[in-house]
Chain A
Amino acid sequence: MTLSTRALKAFSGMGAVALCGVSGVLVATDPKPAAAPLRPPVSGSSSSASALVIPPSCFGSGVATGGGAGSGATATGGSIASSVVEAPASTQPLISTYVS
């Protein structure tokens, strides 16, 4: 039996459509996670906006110094110095703290 070129092309096309259809059904029925997994890297920093970064240690070896009513500048071995200063009484706070 011989098939014309046109018939061969038609059968090939129908086969491709059937294959895509089956694949589509398999993908659609594949179970998906209920939520995006949270997978923080073990170390280092990341520029990704949605990755949790675990630092080598959250406390480190240094213990911050500073008094309860001093000028407020305190550094603890990091490159960024934390600071706190009393604001004028008339200042409107942007954030109010509350008991968690």
Chain B
Amino acid sequence: MSTTGDGTTRHAFTAFGGARCEVIVCAASESAVSAVVADTYAFERRLTRFDARSELSRFNAAAGARVSVSALLGELLRVCLDAYGMSDGLVNAACLPALIDAGYDRSINQVRRRPALPARGSSHPSVPPLPSVLEVGDGWARLATGCAIDLGGVGKGWLADRFAERFDNAAINLGGDLRAQGGGPDAAGWVMSLCDGRVVTIRDAGVATSGTSGRQWPGGHHLIDPRTAIPARTDITAMSVVAESALRAEVLAKAACVMGSSAAGGWLPAHGSMRHAMVLTTRTRPA
């Protein structure tokens, strides 16, 4: 953790399976930054799909039955349903079985170290619509038999937004899902670069970058197209979206990646994107 002369405290750490995270706060105590880091790890422990003891894993294992869920998991499941609606079904948390079929069945570092698997399709023709397989009530939830949930970037975006609410002036970056609150160190806004290298100044907004170049391995990547239940065949390598929140930015960026550049250009502004930038497999196209 480092504190500069202007009172800005900056701390970088890794979480969510090796993702780079960073907390930058102005005029806040180091203990507040430490609380963010501690809560990030606690969040990950509770909701990782790579630990059978986590609440999310136990919820997935209980598919078919109505089970009690914590307020945290209940809220995140509702957020997943919202994300599904906002993305026209392209961000579907029920994609976990398809993700496992694609080879992402262990931590990303372990998947990358593993020799390439022989090509195989998904055992499902498509990912079922999330509202048809997930019910969430007050303190309970039910997932249809055979289904499983992966919170993915939706959880990180949501958490970045919650952390930002603790500060008047801070930027919280959780593995590519960033929420900036306030005007930054010089009160002129938070200056940041998007995936195509352009630099923008943002205030009270979220930024997320998604794409196929991040969590990929020989023969696959982690962006499942729910319409086919296999990794999306897209021309977008990376997509940055600026929106009102990190959560919305994450959902829009992921959906845009799945749909491809020709559809994304018009779809994004109509769904709340304030600015976007994309890197294509062959060239860079500014928005």
Contacts and interface: CB of A to CB of B under 8 A. Distances in A.
Interface of A: 35-42, 45, 49-50, 52-54, 57-59, 63-69, 72, 74, 76, 78, 80-89, 91-100
B199 A38 contact: no
A97 B240 contact: yes
A63 B85 CA distance: 12
B192 A98 contact: no
B204 A50 contact: no
Contacts of B209: 97-100
A98 B35 CA distance: 24
B268 A68 contact: yes
Contact of B43 (A38, A45, A89, A98): A38
A99 B190 contact: no
Contacts, number: 182
Given A49-B35, A93-B192, A99-B214, A80 B22 contact: no
Interface residues of B, number: 81
16 contacts: A36-B38, A38-B42, A39-B72, A58-B82, A58-B247, A63-B272, A67-B269, A72-B274, A83-B189, A84-B203, A91-B191, A93-B192, A96-B192, A99-B211, A99-B238, A100-B177
Interface stretch (B122-130, B158-166, B225-233): B158-166
A50 B206 CA distance: 21
B207 interface: yes
A68 B211 contact: no
Contacts of A88: 199
Contact of B45 (A35, A69, A95): A35
Given A49-B31, A94-B192, A84 B269 contact: no
Contacts of A69: 275, 286-287
